Amino acid sequence: MSDGTLAAARYLPLGDAALAVEFGDSIDPATNARVIALAEALRRAPVAGVTETVPTFRSLLVHYDPLRRSHDEMVGALRERVAGLRVAVGQGRRVTIPACYEGALAPDLAEVAALTGMTADEVVQVHAATEYQVYMLGFLPGFPYMGVLPERLRLPRLSTPRVRVPPRSLAIATAMTAIYPLESPGGWWLIGTVPVELFDITADPPALLRAGDRVRFRAVDRPTFDALRSAWLAGEGRLDVTEAPA
């Protein structure tokens, strides 16, 4: 195998109409890059019978029509794709998202600072100085799991999850950072809010981010946040996106 340092993929049935192509069991950029590369390969040159794929941290879930292809046939077709996979780490789009880490828009910032032994400013600085990879979308429509969070910012989830997390909250927990697209219950620490919408089912594509994107946050003050939010609501919002090299 050309990628001899990497574990061989496993092909695991998820019932009779889906199978997971699993590249590892950890959260790391190299494993996730293989997942995204396979999803991309299947998008460019579809395998007959595949109805939909779902990239996750370490595996690609392949939904298929069992009336068209058997499990064994699907495994065979996917094995070929995996063998010919060209994996590029860190080649996704570059996206910069403004975020306000202040006051009511950052309800847990003070506690995060206290627990991590930093000042609030340092927490913001560390969070905004890191480039994150979108590993997958899940939990809620458009909810991006992004990592990895610098060691100094890592905290376990809240022991008692909130019943109501406001929409567009910027959050951290364990080695991940994320944005809640909609109001929902949630157990992550809320350290900021973004002025942009992450999910609109009527838009094309419906989600602002996709697996493989590289995301940075740009800290903005409250007046700037309010202006950006107004612009976004007026349909004049723009996001700083650099497309991936072809």
Partner 1 sequence: MSGGLRVLAPGLHTTLQDFGRFGAQALGMPVSGALDRDLLRLANALVGNAPDEAALEVLHVGPVLEVTAPALRLALAAYGGAILLDDAEDRRVPAWRSVTLPRGARLRVLAGRDTAAGYLAIGGGFAVPPLAGSRSTYVRGGLGGWQGRALAEGDEIPARQVSAPAGAERRLPAPPVLERGKLRVVLGPQDDHFTEAAIATLCAAEFVVTPEADRMGLRLDGPVLEHRRGHDIVSDGTAAGALQVPGSGRPVLLLADRQTTGGYPKIAVVCTADLPRAGQLRPGDRVSFAAIEVAAAQAARREHEAALAALIGGIVPIEARPDIATLRRIDLISGVVEADQANSSNG
Size of the site for partner 1 (CB under 8 A): 49
Nearer to partner 1, 98 or 147 (CB): 147
Q: How far is the CB of 48 from partner 1 (least distance, A)?
A: 16
- Out of 6, 85, 182, 241, point to the residue binding partner 1 (CB under 8 A): 182
No. of H helices and E strands in the chain? 5, 14
The answer to whether 58 and 35 are in contact (CB under 8 A) is yes
Q: Which of 173, 170, 231, 226 is nearest to 198 (CA)?
A: 170
Class of residue 242 by CB neighbours under 10 A (exposed 0-12, middle 13-18, buried 19+) = exposed
In this chain, which stretch among 24-32, 84-92, 108-116, 159-167 interacts with partner 1, using CB under 8 A?
Answer: 24-32
Instruction: State the CB neighbour count (10 A cutoff) for residue 58.
Output: 20
Going residue by residue from 74 to 93, which x/- string records binding to partner 1, judged by CB under 8 A? --------------------
Give me the residues paired with residue 146 across strands: 134, 177
C-alpha–C-alpha distance, residues 181 and 96, integer Å: 17
Site for partner 1 in 91-150 (CB under 8 A): 136-143, 145
Kindly tell me which residue out of 46, 66, 150, 161 binds partner 1, with binding defined by CB under 8 A.
66
x/- track of binding to partner 1 for residues 197-236 (CB under 8 A): --x-xx--xxx--xx-------------------------
Question: Tokens for 219?
Answer: 């800290």
The binder of partner 1 chosen from 33, 34, 40, 53 (CB under 8 A): 53
